[in-house]
Structure 1
């Protein structure tokens, strides 16, 4: 049986969602964040050396990284569901989005989180204007325009379909959920991009998404 080492309010929510979509039985081991640092607990290091989530075990296999986990689950346990056929045009799109979500889209969103925290952090009074000035300039000159470019790109991709990899919902949509939810929470994704907002509504309405929330507990983007 697949065991999911699930950290609250984290990328591992996607793993629970995919398992619910597949109807695959799994065991859930829940880990709580440190209430002060919001970091994962040290117990996760016993599962994987990096001490981060998501991590799954499936028999003798231990696997980390959201994209790798979702690809593995869809290919091994999907029985042809949630992943386009190999060598199909949709498969290439699928692979692209599986890597794009964390490799291209998530970094500027993470930078925004960090620099927003710098602007609001407690510090000696003489350091505040310097630190906040630097953070503001980096955000205005690089981070915000970069996020805007990504959101425009993603909005255009949905102009002729409901899902990213093709006409059917796939694990690529699951993979994209975390960064796009982060973009809605703190990256400027709003009603000005109706296709993306509609896509978020569609994924949140899926029964399997709701079941994953019931299993994993309340989910909100840390920010």
Structure 2
């Protein structure tokens, strides 16, 4: 059995989808974030030196990093179709999008989110004024440009595609789904019809719906 150590409101939700997609025998152990820092609690940090989600426990191993976890699960389940392993060209594309998610797509989004949180916490007024100027300058100089380029790139790719590679979900979709849904939840996909339609397709998949239900149930058990 796989045990997913799931931190609330984290990337680990996509691993739940993958486990549900392949019909794996798994359980979810959910953890609440530290109310002061919004980071993982101490009990989660003790599981692995990185102390970040997701973490997958299986056969006395504790695996970290979403991409490595996805490939491990697929290999264990012999679900080669999720890697397009029998089609070299498609396999390269699956690998690209899987790594692009964590290597290029999510980092500037997370950086911008952290900066905007810092902006909201800046006090008193004169400190907030300086913080706003500094944060705006950093975002405009780099992160906003990279985010815009990434969004345009993904929107163009999805113009004539049902999923990122082929007509059925692969680990490329598992990896990309978290950032895409986060953008949709914050109304940042309104100007991107292809990405908006893609998120709607993912959310309509039975395995995805089942995964989100199980994840919500696990999170609800935290405070019981």
How far does residue 87 in structure 1 lie from its aligned partner after superposition? 5.6
Q: Which consecutive residues of structure 2, in runs of 5 or more, have no partner in the other structure?
A: 220-224
- In structure 2, distance between residues paired with 1:187 and 1:138: 22
Deviates more, 1:210-219 or 1:57-66: 210-219
Distance 1:81 1:169, change over 3 A: same
> Do residues 211 (structure 1) and 218 (structure 2) align?
no
- In structure 2, distance between residues paired with 1:64 and 1:142: 29
How far does residue 116 in structure 1 lie from its aligned partner after superposition? 1.1
- In structure 1, distance between residues paired with 2:128 and 2:60: 51
Confirm or deny: 8 A CA contact 1:55 1:65 kept in the other structure.
yes
The aligned counterpart of 1:198 is 197
> Do residues 115 (structure 1) and 115 (structure 2) align?
yes
- In structure 1, distance between residues paired with 2:211 and 2:167: 24
- In structure 2, distance between residues paired with 1:78 and 1:161: 26
The aligned counterpart of 1:102 is 102
SS at match of 2:82: coil
How far does residue 86 in structure 1 lie from its aligned partner after superposition? 4.8
- In structure 1, distance between residues paired with 2:69 and 2:187: 26
- The C-alpha deviation readout for 1:7-58, integer Å capped at 9, x for no partner, is 1111111111100000011022111112232111111123211111111111
TM-score by length of structure 1 reads 0.91
Distance 1:212 1:112, change over 3 A: same
TM-score by length of structure 2 reads 0.90
Confirm or deny: 8 A CA contact 1:109 1:187 kept in the other structure.
no
SS at match of 2:56: strand
Aligned length: 218
The aligned counterpart of 2:23 is 23
Deviates more, 1:28-37 or 1:96-105: 28-37
The aligned counterpart of 2:55 is 55
How far does residue 125 in structure 1 lie from its aligned partner after superposition? 2.9
SS at match of 2:5: strand
Confirm or deny: 8 A CA contact 1:147 1:187 kept in the other structure.
no
How far does residue 121 in structure 1 lie from its aligned partner after superposition? 1.6
SS at match of 1:24: coil
Confirm or deny: 8 A CA contact 1:109 1:183 kept in the other structure.
no
